[in-house]
Structure formats: C-alpha cells, structure tokens
Amino acid sequence: MDFFNVYEDDKRAESYAKLEFPGDYYLAFRDIPDLVHKHVRAGKAVDFGCGAGRSTRFIKSLGFEVIGIDISERMIRSALEADPGGDYRLIRDGEFDLLDEGGFDLAFAAFTFDNIPGVERRTELLRGLGGLLNGEGKIILLDSTPEIYTHEWASFSTKDYPENKNARSGDLVKIITTAVEDKRPVEDIIWFDKDYMELFEGSGLELVESHKPLGKVDEPFEWVNETEIAPWIIYIVKRGA
C-alpha cells in the first residue's frame, strides 16, 4: 500500500497546527495524566509523531523532559514556531537509532498509528519504540477506535462514508474533522483491538492496561455519542519479559 503523509500538505498542516484541545480532542487527552501517574515514572519521554507539538507540550506539562520526533518537515517547523525552546527533531521513518536506546521512561504516540499502514511496518515501529524504553518504561498509544469511523461526534463526521462500516484492520477509512478550518476528509487506517493485541505480541510488548474514555454529561461540550461510545482507546504497554 502506498502511503502519503497528509500533513506535508501546507493547508492541512497549517489547519492542524492551530488545533489544541476542543471537543473530542479534550476527551482524548483528559485521562492521560492519571494514567501516566499510575504507570510511568516521570523523567525522559519521546513523542513519536509529534506533529505540530501539541502532544509534546502536553507531556512536558506532566513533568517530562520530552523530545518530539516526526517525519514531516512542515509539522516540525510548526512545532518550533509554537514552542521555540522545545526539542523537536525531524527523522526519517523509523529512524530511532539517533535516540538514546533504553534511555526513556515514556514513549508516547497520539494518533500516530492511525496513519501507519501494514502489520510489518507497525510491528517494526512498535519494536523500535520498545527498544527506547528503560526497564520500567512504558509506551502509551492514543488511537482511534473503529467506532469513530462509523458514528457522528462533537468534532468529527463520517456520515458521508457509509463504506467505513465494511472496513477491516488495515483498510483506509475516511473522516472529516469539523474542529479545523480544513474540512477535506482525512484518510486514516482502521485497526481493531484484537489485531492490536497481535501487534503487541509480535513486537515483544505486553499490554498493561487499555482505557476507553467516555464523555461526561457535566462537561462543557455538546457530546453526540461520546457518553455511550468511545471514539478513542489508550493502550499502555511495556516490554515483554
């Protein structure tokens, strides 16, 4: 499968660079501080697929020394513009050898695997992230659930793409982010939970916890399906024994 990094598109990159934590993005990150506090010792972190640095700044706010890495030159420029003092590095795809092997307490990836095709490539990257961890380190993956591509949400719409309902792990699906100026559909790669479990096993990783955040009625957002169906899933994994 040929894959094009959509965030090299200047219009799309500029649109996402302005995005912070509205609606469903708030929900995606809401419970991460508690999960980090529960499972990870504060120290050094790497933000894999940092984009415009939103997630890097978030992890930094939790007390970590963070390196943000991305394959998109345009997004790294945006990250440095927003956070001139931050450590953001342009890398080639899967180029982890420039980082400190075994030197990180946390490897974080927010939505990154929504854009990575193929079992072999995903396995290789997860194995590489595992190699960055120290003995007590954890990987936290924040990803879309398959349900996000078949329902309506506060910040997303999929009603124009009924074919998403027939997708299997590894298939392309389309979704519109209504929270940004650029309303062109994004093509993501859907992945189901059972197939994530196989990825973790094949990458030498072990699941510690998975969590699906649901919206709460007292939150200041007009939730659509979020109080009953989770658009996101958070995986906490460690290196296997």
Residue 94's pLDDT is: 81
Which parts of the chain fold into alpha helices (H)?
Answer: 10-17, 23-30, 32-39, 54-61, 73-82, 119-132, 193-202
Which residue positions in the chain have pLDDT lower than 50?
1-9, 11-19
What is the three-class DSSP state of 88? Answer: strand
- C-beta of residue 218 within 8 angstroms of C-beta of residue 241: no
**In angstroms, rounded to a whole number, what is the distance separating the alpha carbons of residues 92 and 69?**
10
One of 2.40.440.10, 3.30.460.10, 3.40.50.150, 3.20.20.10 is the CATH number of 6-146+191-239, namely 3.40.50.150
Which parts of 40-156 fold into alpha helices (H)?
Answer: 54-61, 73-82, 119-132
Residue 64 CB-half CA count within 13 A: 28
Residue 95's pLDDT is: 86
92: burial class by Cβ within 10 Å (0-12, 13-18, 19+)?
exposed
* Residues whose CB is less than 8 angstroms from the CB of residue 210 and which lie 6 or more positions away in sequence, other chains included: 193, 233, 234, 235, 236
Residue 20's pLDDT is: 62
**In angstroms, rounded to a whole number, what is the distance separating the alpha carbons of residues 195 and 189?**
13
- In the DSSP assignment, the letter for residue 185 is P
**In angstroms, rounded to a whole number, what is the distance separating the alpha carbons of residues 130 and 152?**
34
Within 10 angstroms of residue 61's Cβ, the number of other Cβ atoms is 10
Ramachandran category for residue 125: left, alpha or beta (phi over 0 → left; psi -120 to 50 → alpha): alpha
What is the three-class DSSP state of 143? Answer: strand
**In angstroms, rounded to a whole number, what is the distance separating the alpha carbons of residues 8 and 180?**
16
Q: What angle do CA 91, 95, 97 make, to 5 degrees?
A: 120
Which is nearest to 175 in space by CA: 184, 166, 29? Answer: 184
Residue 22's pLDDT is: 84
pTM, two decimals, is: 0.91
Enumerate the domain spans of the chain. Answer: 6-146+191-239
